[in-house]
Structure 1
Amino acid sequence: MFKSVVSKLGGSKKESIISPVTGEVVDLTEVPDPVFSEKLMGDGIAIIPSLGEVCSPVDGEVVQIFETKHAISIRSEKGLEIILHIGLETVNLKGKGFKSYVKENKKVKAGDKLISFDLDLIKSEGYNLITPVVLVNMDEKVKKIDKKLDKKSIAVGDIVMEVKLK
């Protein structure tokens, strides 16, 4: 249903990243964790989720799913690597409240369900639910990112970033 948009414009490649989560989109610099806000892992956006479901932001392949299911890495068909990190410090939950629907090396389509998580449980345990969506191989693959931060409320499938690839 959702498809990564890849086009050739004057020799350049472009890839659209859809929102993997329904909620409120914010700039990555607003994440209250310097690993993300200072873009130490890469650039991107973050989403404050209103629903406990993470879907694939692109057509691609699952590279890694963390044992605790709080984070997943996807490689797009064009080689863009994206980490989806559900909440901050949620690794400490040791998988409690998370359920995975995919395995490593599995091909996925944009919009496919990857992980579900219990919003209320995570909040009640005192964790921030903000979910960074980070492009980690910036130096080798990304020329420019156009972040779609103009509309605050987003749903899975809404385009949140247009990436011009090298």
Structure 2
Amino acid sequence: MFKSFLHSLGFHERRNVLLSPLAGKVIPLSEVNDPTFASGSLGEGVAIEPTGNKVVAPSDGKVKAVFPTGHAVALHTNEGLDVLIHIGLDTYKLDGRHFKVRAAEGDSVKKGDVLIEFDRDAIRSEGYDITAPILICNSVEFSSIKGNVGDTVPELGKLLTARER
């Protein structure tokens, strides 16, 4: 009852929905075969077992960093989420092979813009796990982050919800 009263006065919990930058099956971060990601020490989030070959901007925002090897990109969305998208585990060791970066640090991007293209099969054939952790690096600013674990999401399908404090 109190919540509905506050809502009627214009006070309500804000939720930020992050759309998926990749198509694939959503798994819990804790199941990622890398202790740094699985522990959540870099931020809360989920991981995707990708079925496609590209990473798109999940929201309008700004590119904060693109790793020189092309395996990861960091964005600040217009909704206030600091998002790290990391393609595969230990894929920095490929030194850029199988990755084509389509965005640069400082770029303003629109939802759906292609950021990175990658050859999923070639990466796997070299023995790398293609699981893609997607982290909210400023997760401490939110009261909760809940991902759609178990779902198979299309590119730009609903991936997770971050509730503001």
* TM-score of the aligned structures, taking structure 1 as reference length: 0.89
1:6-155 equivalences under 5 Å are 10-139=11-140, 141-151=141-151, 153-155=152-154
Secondary structure of the structure 2 residue equivalent to 1:162: strand
1:5 alignment partner in structure 2: none
Gaps of 5+ in 1: 1-8
Alpha carbons of structure 1 residues 39 and 51: separation in structure 2 relative to 1, 3 Å: same
In the alignment, the residues of structure 2 paired with residue 57 and residue 78 of structure 1 have an alpha-carbon distance, to the nearest angstrom, of: 11
Count residues with an aligned counterpart.
156
Quote the Cα distance in structure 1 between the aligned partners of 2:70 and 2:15: 30
Letter in 1 for 2:160: M
Q: In 2, distance between residues paired with 1:154 and 1:143?
A: 24
Which residue is 2:3 aligned to?
A: none
What is the CA RMSD across the aligned residues, in angstroms? 1.3
**In structure 2, distance between residues paired with 1:87 and 1:15:** 25
Query: Bigger radius of gyration, 1 or 2?
Result: 2
Q: Runs of at least 4 residues of structure 1 off by over 4 A?
A: none
- Aligned partner of residue 12 in structure 1, secondary structure: coil
Structure 1 range deviating more: 63-72 or 49-58: 49-58
SS state of the match for residue 64, structure 2? strand
Give the gaps of 5 or more residues in structure 2: 1-9
Per-residue deviation at 1:130? Answer: 0.1
TM-score for the superposition, normalised by structure 2: 0.90
